[in-house]
Amino acid sequence: MKKQRLTSFCLSAALVLSLAAGTSAEAAETPVLSTGIYEISSASAPDYVLDLRTCTVDETRTDGTELQTYQSLDVNQQKFYVDMTSSRFCRIGALTSGKVLSRTDTDSEFSLGDVTLTDLIIIEPPVEETETETETETKTEVETESETVTESESESETTAVTESESETAAVTETESESETAVPDEASTDSEIASEAETASETSDTEVPSDTEDITESIVSTETEFFTETETEAVKEILTDPSQTWLLQRCGDGSFYIKSRQDFSYLTLDESTACNGATVSLQSFTGKENQRWFFNPSWISSTAFADTDLVNPYAPGGAYQNLRLIMFFGGTREVLTADTISEWMTENEDHTLPTVREAFLNYADSLAEKYNTKGVPRQFTTSGGSTITLYKGDYGWVLDTTATAEALLAGLQNTGSSYITPVWSQTAGSYTRGNDIGRSYVEVDLTNQKVWLYKAGKLLLETECVSGTYGTDRQTPGGVYSLKYKQSPAVLTGADYSTPVQYWMPFNGGIGLHDANWRASFGGDIFRSNGSHGCINLPTEAAALIYETVSKGYPVVCYN
């Protein structure tokens, strides 16, 4: 499809349009633009010119060639022959194929539509019919008879004229002999009228026509085989409004290009020209994307360049400057247009794939990097020792689907934009390895103590009773998130149902709560008379913790 064409073929547009040029009947005024070869660039970005999307170019097609803007490459697919049919109206033909710029989707008047390149609308000349021998003989006989009749009529008219002239001469002679004689009674008014009538009849001689119909005399030699009716049709069709464009000066050297069919404006669909930006016909806005420069050009030795696949994120694309920025604590992640362009590969139908799958994979990579749930973390206890915590459900969990959608929405921006990651679960700090932060509840299962911290400040230190040691009720270690809090509540199990005033679950059915039925806390109570797994607290301590914590508050348990 992208074969190299001979340079001479590039003149096809000029030849086709020049055939139609002789039919314009507009007044002779100075054209707003000279007929010739041009590159047509958008006023919004003059370095980008109208281009035929290569995969749509096919010599055998009559329509469907797509227009876009692309960086100027000095190839004939970006050059157009502008034929000024009058001072302001013109046709615009593609230099590579001879097809002309045409308005499409014209089912209803004044409706906006698409613009493409199609064959010039023209009527083919009729095929001349060959006469048969019989028809020729018949025609000859008719012509002979016609000539005989003509000669006979001519002789009769000549004789009548001669006789009339003789009679006139006799009358003249008689009058000259006696100028004073009184006219005879027979020379009445009726006779004079009769003679005048006869003279009138003899003067009505036919003038034979030796020219053809005047219509044929104004038709160019390329259409000399057309009949009168067909010639009129050609003159009408060669000014087809869907292929005729009005050029209107804008004052800065650019032009509005308006369809003669409904005077809609050729408009760049993007706000700024770029590789792959499409054009259509729109209502008037007066913006730069409706103004066009006609840059005088020439026939190039190169017919085509590969512009059928336009990656909008590659250099020269509409989104070449795109940057999507996300912050994870003090760490910044930047997704650039260069990376996105690498995710795109051409489909068989010359289209670019959707990149949603690539963005989901990218979000997964962010989750792997910044998720902290289940990740071992270092923790410094209230006693001053540093331990490693492995278990628990606490930590950051990225919602990869929602984050990918947020990134995809950011693709509509042409510059830098900030995207907020979407989390399905949060933690106290973005610091990987220490995401607990400075607000948490600390439970020492060995020494049976609880500490409450808020923004690094110790609010409470109290003794507790945990699950019975050495049984299936033993409280497990790990870092957990507070699931919710409830006051009051009733705790139920297989063999109990106990009301409490403050209930704060953090690991399934295990939680912090008051235990007013206990007379003491701490020590070795948990080894023989521990709880079912919960952390039993004095009522006052449970009340303070309840007032301080909220959903997601870290609870750190260790042995």
Lowest mean pLDDT among 110-114, 351-355, 392-396: 110-114
State the DSSP string of 5-31: PPGGGGGHHHHHHHHHHTT--S-----
The secondary structure element, H or E, covering residue 266 is strand 265-268
DSSP string across 403-427: HHHHHHHGGG-SSEEE----EEE--
pLDDT at 175 over 70: no
More confident residue, 105 or 20: 105
* Mean of per-residue pLDDT scores for the chain: 77
Res 275: pLDDT: 84
Residues 6+ apart with CB under 8 A from 273: 41, 42, 44, 45, 47, 48, 69, 289
pLDDT(61) > 60:
no
* Confidence tier at 113 by pLDDT (50, 70, 90): low
CB 468 within 8 Å of CB 526:
yes
In this prediction, residues 193-217 reach a mean pLDDT of 37
Phi-psi category of residue 88: left, alpha or beta, with phi > 0 → left and psi -120 to 50 → alpha:
alpha
> Residue 76, CB half-sphere, CA atoms under 13 Å: how many?
27
Length of the chain: 559
> Which pLDDT value is given to residue 298?
93
DSSP state of 3: P
Please report which confidence band the pLDDT of residue 526 belongs to, taking 50, 70 and 90 as the band edges: very high
Phi, psi of 279 (to 5 degrees): -125, 155
Q: In the predicted model, is pLDDT for residue 544 greater than 50?
A: yes
- pLDDT value of position 50: 94
Weakest mean pLDDT among 50-64, 247-261, 269-283, 535-549: 50-64
Taking each helix axis as running N to C, give the angle between helix 356-370 and helix 400-409, from 0 to 180 degrees, rounded to the nearest 10.
130
Residue 64 confidence class, pLDDT cut points 50, 70, 90: low
> 151 versus 89: which is more confidently predicted?
89
Exposure string of 514-545, with b = 16+ CB inside 10 Å and e = fewer, is: bbeeeeebeeebbeeebbbbbbbbbeebbebb
E-strand stretches of 53-151:
67-71, 80-84, 89-94, 100-103, 115-118
* pLDDT-based confidence at residue 161 (cuts at 50, 70, 90): very low
Q: Give the number of other Cβ atoms within 10 Å of residue 387's Cβ.
A: 14
**Residue 503: strand pairing partners:** 486, 513
pLDDT at 11: 47
pLDDT of residue 343: 87
The helix/strand/coil state of 258 is strand
Distance, in Å, from the CA atom of 479 to the CA atom of 377, rounded to the nearest integer, reads 9
pLDDT surpasses 50 at 549? yes
The per-residue pLDDT for 319 is 84
Q: Closest Cα partner for 101 from 300, 291, 243? A: 243
- Burial class from Cβ neighbours inside 10 Å (0-12, 13-18, 19+) for residue 282 reads middle
| Contacts (Cβ under 8 Å, ≥6 apart) of 409 | none
Structure tokens of 447? Answer: 């020494």
* Mean pLDDT, rounded, for 394-410: 95
Residue 221 confidence (pLDDT) above 60: no
Q: What pTM was computed for the model?
A: 0.54
Mean pLDDT of 165-170: 43
- The answer on pLDDT for 8 being more than 60 is no
